[in-house]
Amino acid sequence: MKFERRFDNIKLIISDFDGVFTDGTGIIDENGKVSKRINYHDVLGIALVFTAGIKVSIITGEKAGAVDYLAGIFPEIRAYQGVKDKLPVVRQLVEEYGLKPENVLYIGDDVNDFKSLCFAGIKVTVPNSNDTVKKIPDIIITEKRGGEGVFREVTDAVLYEKINAHFAGDMK
């Protein structure tokens, strides 16, 4: 993914879950319980973002034990599950944190993320996202597909910019 923008003003990363942290597949056992596979590079990415002072929220249309797991590891994460219209939650977070849309990076992959992506200052999707999402003006498409470490790819790009902005003078 080629980030050709500066990210000094990112204060909040909001992400969809299925299709970003996962490949969009759910494994359903004989009792109807759904399991999802996540990439632990993404888990470390969350930790790195928090260390840098950036807030993280996950907003998903489904209920997922994996989201509960992440919220258990990171009590400071704001996790919203079963949300069909995500934009009101995004607006609530922006207001609650005293931010502006340009302070928000949103990662989403499908039509239920469309309005939130359009609202956010930085819009990110995956290569296997819905075609409507890929056509959003100024959207950035990651190199990795959902479930392959997308959140970490974004994290690395955002933190790289922050580190360069902070330490560039010391490295000369």
Query: What's 98's domain CATH number?
Result: 3.40.50.1000
**Between these two residues, 170 and 17, which has the higher pLDDT value?**
17
Whether 96 maps to a domain, the answer reads: yes
Q: Has residue 163 got a pLDDT over 90?
A: no
Number of structural domains in the chain: 1
Whether 72 maps to a domain, the answer reads: yes
Residue 171 confidence class, pLDDT cut points 50, 70, 90: very low
pLDDT tens per residue across span 85-131: 999 999 999 999 999 999 999 999 999 999 999 999 999 999 999 99
Whether 47 maps to a domain, the answer reads: yes
Whether 95 maps to a domain, the answer reads: yes
Q: Which domain holds residue 93?
A: 12-167
Whether 129 maps to a domain, the answer reads: yes
Average pLDDT, the chain: 90
Dist CA 153 CA 133 (whole Å): 19
Whether 172 maps to a domain, the answer reads: no
Whether 5 maps to a domain, the answer reads: no
- What is the pTM for the complete model shown? 0.90
Query: Residue 138 to residues 25, 27, 47, 83, 92: CA-CA distances in angstroms?
Result: 28, 34, 27, 25, 23
